[in-house]
Structure 1
Amino acid sequence: MIHIFVNDKPILLTTLVEEEKGFKNYLLSTVNIGKVIKELNTTSLKEIRLIGKKEEKLLPKFLKKLPNVVAGGGKAINDKGEVLFIYRNDKWDLPKGKAEKKESIEETAVREVEEETGVKGLQISKPLEITYHIFKRNGRHKIKITHWFEMTTSYSGKLSPEVTEGITKVEWLNESQCQEALKNSYANIKSLI
């Protein structure tokens, strides 16, 4: 199953039809995505499942329903094993941002982590998962497709939040601090830590 988040509630793309208990089923081919988003935002439903016939066609069909924004982000780890977090919109998050023209997704991820945090010397160690979430900008819903990478750095200099992007804090967090931060984070970030 593929999870696409609307705030912290998922839209699940699946081929399985199950009895509705705390969720609703809709056919992917005919669903009104605006209605689904509104339903998740205004009801007590825990999730909505969009049902399709073929597993490999679920995501491509869904991605045609909204404008796509491709982004890259990083779970940066320092020499002490601490993870780099940003604080934005009253939530702990990992740095990420929109890809620019003629830039590889790896270049996007490194550039965004550097710009949002001030950390230098980032090396990608491995790709992580791709996350999907729906957001609203200028009155229109869009889907952000974020390619995540684990990164390492020996940087020990000053951290500088990119205030123009609404980031108010940047911090290296140890394991117990990460667990505490995740209590006030996003569902798709929790899956990366």
Structure 2
Amino acid sequence: MYKVFVNDKPLFLTNEVAKETDFQLFLLESVDIEQLIVKMFNNKIKKAYLYYPDEKEILNKVKEKIPVKKAGGGLVYNQKREVLFIFRNGKWDLPKGGCDKGEEIEDCSIREVTEETGVGDLVISKKLQKTYHVFKRNGIYRLKITHWFEMTTTFEGTLIPQEDEGIEKVAWLKPDEIKQALENSYENIKLLFENENDIKI
């Protein structure tokens, strides 16, 4: 099952029909996906399931119905085991951004972290899960698939928010501060911390 966030509300892609009642179920083959997304953006639907029988194909079927934007990002630890956060649009977030044409996803992730925060000397320690969310640009809804990597750095220089990307603040947060920041963050960012041993949310 995949969990796609639409305006921070979950849209589950599933090949199972559960006997729950607190959500709406749509057939992926016949749904007008844009109409469904609009309803979720307008808070008319809080949670929905998109059903397709073949789990391996379900994401490809969604990609046929909505344009995809590939992005890379980092969950970055410094030597004190603090995590690098950015503050944008009134919420705490992790640095990430879209890939350039032909760019490897690891290179994209490192580049975006450096551009958005000023942090260098980044080393990828492991690949984390992908997250999925829908956003609107130039009147078109797109599915953003973000590839996340855990990174470490020995960087101790000045943090520089990328202001032309709307980033107001960059900060290293301690585990107890992270917990508080995640209360004012996005659902897909919270997912990344579920398996982080240092940080229990």
TM-score by length of 2: 0.93
1:64 match: secondary structure = helix
CA contact (8 A) 1:22 1:46 kept: no
Question: Aligned AA for 1:80?
Answer: K
Aligned to 1:119: 119
Structure 1 residues 144-165: Cα deviation after superposition (integer angstroms, max 9, x where no partner): 1110000000111100000000
Question: Aligned AA for 1:63?
Answer: K
Q: How does 1:14-163 map to 2 (within 5 A)?
A: 14-43=14-43, 45-163=45-163
Q: What is the CA–CA distance in structure 2 between the aligned matches of 1:80 and 1:133, rounded to whole Å?
A: 31
Q: What is the CA–CA distance in structure 1 between the aligned matches of 2:39 and 2:23, rounded to whole Å?
A: 11
Q: What is the CA–CA distance in structure 2 between the aligned matches of 1:27 and 1:149, rounded to whole Å?
A: 33
Aligned to 1:173: 173
Identity %: 51
Question: Aligned AA for 1:185?
Answer: S
Question: Aligned AA for 2:145?
Answer: I
Aligned to 2:196: none
Question: Aligned AA for 2:96?
Answer: K
The CA RMSD measured in Å over matched residues stands at: 1.1
Q: What is the CA–CA distance in structure 2 between the aligned matches of 1:126 and 1:7, rounded to whole Å?
A: 28
- Cα 1:45–1:101 change in 2 (3 A) is closer
1:100 match: secondary structure = coil
> Structure 2: which 5+ residue stretches go unaligned?
194-201
Q: What is the CA–CA distance in structure 2 between the aligned matches of 1:29 and 1:44, rounded to whole Å?
A: 22
Q: What is the CA–CA distance in structure 2 between the aligned matches of 1:53 and 1:94, rounded to whole Å?
A: 34
Q: What is the CA–CA distance in structure 2 between the aligned matches of 1:164 and 1:179, rounded to whole Å?
A: 28
Instruction: Give the drift of 1:43.
Output: 3.6
Instruction: Give the drift of 1:77.
Output: 0.4
Instruction: Give the drift of 1:103.
Output: 1.3
Aligned length: 193
Q: What is the CA–CA distance in structure 2 between the aligned matches of 1:46 and 1:175, rounded to whole Å?
A: 30
TM-score by length of 1: 0.97
Instruction: Give the drift of 1:52.
Output: 0.6
2:101 match: secondary structure = coil
Does residue 182 (structure 1) correspond to residue 178 (structure 2)? The answer is no
Structure 1 consecutive aligned stretches of length 4 or more whose deviation exceeds 6 Å? none
Structure 1 residues 120-161: Cα deviation after superposition (integer angstroms, max 9, x where no partner): 100000000111110000111011111000000011110000
- Farther off after superposition, 166-175 or 34-43: 34-43
> Structure 1: which 5+ residue stretches go unaligned?
none
Q: What is the CA–CA distance in structure 1 between the aligned matches of 2:133 and 2:139, rounded to whole Å?
A: 16
